[in-house]
Amino acid sequence: MFNKNFKKFALIAIAVFALALAGCASDGGNGGEETGSIGEQLDYTITGIDAGAGVVRSAEEAVEDYGLEYTVQTSSGAAMTQALGDAIANEEPIIVTGWNPHWKFAAYDLKYLDDPKGSFGEAEDIHTIARAGLSEDLPEAYQILDNFYWEGSDMEDVMVLVNEGGEPADVAREWVDNNQDKVAEWTDGVDAVDGAEINVAYVAWDSEIASTNVIGTVLSDMGYDVTLTQVENGPMWEAVASGQTDAIVAAWLPGTHGDHYDKYESEFEDLGANLEGARIGLIVPAYMDINSIEDLVE
């Protein structure tokens, strides 16, 4: 009897002691990764995307401008959103190079870090750029590209469905079918063609996968034989400047791609904004206890 009770007592004592230890670790500040500055927790890493992206270059500028100890780790847009999703699932800190329009704002509770030094510029527009001579060679396509204009919410609708597993071409088909009023404005007064070839280049950013597939579907419906060519950012600009591609709908201006734009400006034709009010910056989950890039200064 005594023996049994003693065993019980000992077990309870051990359990209480273990709980007390666990309590210390979780609110005390000496357990695992939840300790130290945000920089220490993140190994001073900002999760970037592809090295050619303007937002990565701006993030590197921010590191300079604010005197941060961080490095911007490059990978891809897909790797970034994967890392963001994993961090949020575990309620861990993460800082990503991000932008909108983007499905991640529909999927997660996120915030931009304030950027008082303006490393990421102001609001941006996304422009359509045509190669030199497109208006003479493919006048109908030129007209449609010139008319192409949609809202950030339109682009996000497409992005959300692609993120949920839809094939970009199928989702674009569905969007075009469901938004014939908008598409009719882009094709208004334009004659259909009979199989002329057109190439549109883009980078595999989720936003540009959406826009390029939509404009590709519209051009295809107008009779074009459409090829969408996926490239890196620098080569995309080179391609439209040299005439290797006919057009891009992925030009983020004036800041994000301003360097590429300035380099080739005389060699292509800027057809103006196809979307207004885009933005880039450093983005964190809303549960993180920081609000400004300045909060990363140590």
Task: Catalog residues that contact ligand PBE under the rule CB under 6 A.
Answer: 49, 53-55, 99, 205, 207-208, 233, 252, 256, 280
User: Which of 135, 126, 139, 87 lies closest to 110 in space, CA to CA?
Assistant: 87
User: Which of 279, 244, 291 lies closest to 264 in space, CA to CA?
Assistant: 244
Q: Min. distance of Cβ 74 from ligand PBE in angstroms?
A: 11
* C-alpha span between 253 and 124 (Å, rounded): 6
Q: Which is nearer to ligand PBE, 49 or 293 (CB)?
A: 49
Cα distances from 47 to residues 96, 98, 230, 248, in angstroms, run: 5, 9, 23, 27
Q: Which is nearer to ligand PBE, 99 or 103 (CB)?
A: 99
Which tokens sit at 230?
């996926």
Q: Min. distance of Cβ 163 from ligand PBE in angstroms?
A: 15
Q: Min. distance of Cβ 24 from ligand PBE in angstroms?
A: 43
Which tokens sit at 297?
């200064």
Q: Which is nearer to ligand PBE, 58 or 187 (CB)?
A: 58
Q: What is the DSSP string of 242-271?
A: HTSSSEEEEEEETTTTHHHHHHHGGGEEEE
Which tokens sit at 266?
């005389």
Q: Which is nearer to ligand PBE, 187 or 256 (CB)?
A: 256
Q: Min. distance of Cβ 55 from ligand PBE in angstroms?
A: 3
Q: Which is nearer to ligand PBE, 74 or 143 (CB)?
A: 74
Which residues have CB under 8 Å from 164's CB, separation 6+? Answer: none
Which tokens sit at 199?
């190439």
Q: Which is nearer to ligand PBE, 55 or 171 (CB)?
A: 55
Pinpoint the alpha helices (H) of 47-103: 54-66, 77-89
Residues in the chain: 298
Q: Which is nearer to ligand PBE, 39 or 258 (CB)?
A: 258
Q: Min. distance of Cβ 197 from ligand PBE in angstroms?
A: 26
For 169, phi and psi rounded to 5 degrees? -65, -40
Q: Min. distance of Cβ 95 from ligand PBE in angstroms?
A: 15
Cβ 260 vs Cβ 127: under 8 Å:
no
Which tokens sit at 196?
């002329």
Q: Min. distance of Cβ 79 from ligand PBE in angstroms?
A: 13
